[in-house]
Amino acid sequence: MTTLPKPLCGIVAPMITPLSDRDTLDTDGLERLIEHLIAGNVSGLFILGTTGEAPSLSYRLRRELIVQVCRQVADRVPVLVGVTDTAFVESVKLAHYAADTGASAVVLAAPYYFPAGQSELLEYVRHIAVETEAFAAEQTCVRSYTSIFIARQQVAI
């Protein structure tokens, strides 16, 4: 596992998931994509991000993608794995799987179906951190893509 530099800087490329059909990973396309991005001197790869693709993939396919990416990257750059899900338990399971497979970090977006205030969002993040044995949390937000924001001063786990 590549240690995540602090602060993380440079280009962390959000990757698409190449598919050969609805639930089959295009492994040749994935290998070419990874090598192309790394050859472009990215600072990391971000899979299963919040672009809307991950929730439409099966849990089996998400796990296969994590394994393939971590195996091929082989610690050349950090691999960040999105673990956002509508089911808390599935986010935790995917975070454990990503850690066990060699991912450098997991990324979690706030729950998006239920309105939540600062205290509820903070409690959600704390529960995820406890369940995944996270030692620290770093919060970033692309405001143009979300209406949910956790204040930086709130995140001190």
pLDDT digits (tens, 9 = 90+) for 36-84: 999 999 999 999 987 778 889 999 999 999 999 999 999 999 999 999 8
Determine the average pLDDT of the residues in 134-144.
Answer: 44
| Nearest one of 69, 82, 78 to 1, comparing CA atoms | 78
Joined tokens for residue 37: 């991005």
Helix (H, G, I), strand (E, B) or coil at 103: coil
**Percent of the chain scored above 90 by pLDDT?**
52
pLDDT of residue 134: 55
Average pLDDT across the chain, whole number: 83
pLDDT of residue 55: 87
Look up residue 147 and give its amino acid: S
Give the residue extent of every domain in the chain: 1-109, 111-157
In the predicted structure, residue 140 carries a pLDDT above the cut 50: no
Measure Cα distances from 9 to 26, 42, 43, 62, 95 in Å: 29, 10, 7, 26, 22
Measure Cα distances from 151 to 117, 125, 133, 140 in Å: 11, 12, 22, 9
CA–CA distance, 3 with 23 (Å, rounded to integer)? 31
CATH 3.20.20.70 fits 1-109, yes or no: yes
